[in-house]
A and B are shown apart, each in its own frame.
Chain A
Amino acid sequence: MRHAQLAWYIAGPALGLCVVACRALFNARLGVTGGFSELIGKLGRGSFSFDWRGWFAIGLFLAGTIFALIAGTQTFDGYGWLTETFTGSERALIAPVLLAAGVAIGYGAKLSGGCTSGNGLSGVSVLSPAALAATATFFATAIVVSFVTKAVI
């Protein structure tokens, strides 16, 4: 990381308060994939009249821009293990791998009704059985994928 890391005991509760805010304002679940879905669905029909979920997602993009401007730097270089592992001529592999991973992330999150925020954070915080099952599954899968790729590649 190229800047200081906020202590977890501040960052975690602050993130949780965003979920509480969505409940208090909209009586709704906070979910990033829901926001993406709103933007993609509306834009596909040529509409720009996004609901609060769409504007929430727009806020995430803007937050990145504002944060980088204030911090005076991007948070990191490269793109994790992919740019560390695939160097030189192998770099060409990274783009298709990220595209395929992205498709899995988008499709999988929609199919299971949420991503790390919708199922993991919001769903688990109200002890939704479906969200608990989903969260256990994606954490377990990602952990297995990480250990397998570390061992094999």
Chain B
Amino acid sequence: MWGRALGLVIGLVFGAILCWSGMISPVVIREALLFEDSYLFLFFTSAVATAALGQLVVRRVMRSALLTDGPVAWSFERPKRRHIVGSAIFGLGWGVANACPGPIAAQVGQGIWWAVFTLTGVIVGVRLFLRRSELGETEPPSERAVTATPRTAAAAGR
């Protein structure tokens, strides 16, 4: 219950910042990507720096997160093909629409009707991925190789 309510509150704050900073405006994003305006990069860098410092403090000070058990920690994932390919596909869409998922949600909330098309596309894209995942088609080749190894080893052992 608390988790859901606080998730909603964080969403409200996050969305309000995206609106007030102009990050939901495709013109503002376009100007940044064409290096005509530095706002996005200053905004993004200061957000990352604050998040980095804040999380280091949280990890040091808190024995566990407030709503979950276990120590505050995060894992380091190595870059795989899917990170690069997926982000290239994402960047293509972002470069054309000049809106990413957070801003798209806030745009629809503001009643900007062009955003309904963008949001519909995002829903289709996410559903497409979820359906392919269920079929196991998007399993990265590296992981497939790992799961195949024990079987080969077992066969060799026999």
Chain A residues near B (Cβ < 8 Å):
1, 3, 5-6, 8-9, 11-30, 32-33, 35-37, 40-41, 44, 50-68, 71, 74-76, 78-83, 94-95, 97-113, 115-117, 119-122, 124-135, 137-147, 149-150
Chain B residues near A (Cβ < 8 Å):
3-22, 24-30, 33-35, 39, 42-52, 54-55, 57-59, 62, 64-68, 70, 72-80, 82-98, 100-102, 104-112, 114-115, 117-130, 138
Q: Is the CB of B129 within 8 A of A22?
A: no
**Which of B5, B75, B88, B101 has the most A CB atoms < 10 Å from its CB?**
B101
Nearest-Cβ distance from residue B91 to partner chain A, whole angstroms: 3
Q: Is the CB of A121 within 8 A of B3?
A: no
A78 CA / B25 CA spacing, docked (Å)? 9
In the complex, chain B residues whose CB is within 8 Å of the CB of A113:
77, 82-83, 86
Judged by DSSP, the binding face of B is helix
16 pairs across A/B with beta carbons < 8 Å? Answer: A5-B22, A11-B20, A15-B14, A16-B47, A16-B52, A25-B3, A26-B3, A60-B109, A80-B97, A98-B121, A103-B124, A115-B100, A117-B102, A125-B49, A125-B55, A134-B87
Q: A111-B82, A126-B52 in contact; A101/B26 too (CB < 8 A)?
A: no
Q: Is the CB of A79 within 8 A of B84?
A: no
The contact of B12 among A40, A66, A74, A108, by CB within 8 Å, is: A66
Q: Is the CB of B98 within 8 A of A80?
A: yes
Q: Is the CB of B70 within 8 A of A27?
A: yes
Given contacts A111-B129, A117-B14, 10 further A-B pairs with CB under 8 A are A6-B20, A11-B21, A19-B47, A23-B74, A24-B62, A25-B66, A55-B5, A74-B111, A104-B125, A137-B87
In the complex, chain A residues whose CB is within 8 Å of the CB of B9:
59
In the complex, chain B residues whose CB is within 8 Å of the CB of A17:
50-51, 54
The total of Cβ contacts below 8 Å across the A-B interface reads 475
Q: Is the CB of B7 within 8 A of A79?
A: no
A132 CA / B76 CA spacing, docked (Å)? 11
Nearest A residue (CB) for B16 = A63
Q: A8-B46, A102-B119, A110-B125 in contact; A59/B11 too (CB < 8 A)?
A: yes
A56 CA / B118 CA spacing, docked (Å)? 19
In the complex, chain A residues whose CB is within 8 Å of the CB of B47:
11-13, 15-16, 19, 121
Q: Is the CB of A115 within 8 A of B6?
A: no
Nearest-Cβ distance from residue A2 to partner chain B, whole angstroms: 9
The contact of B121 among A53, A103, A117, by CB within 8 Å, is: A103
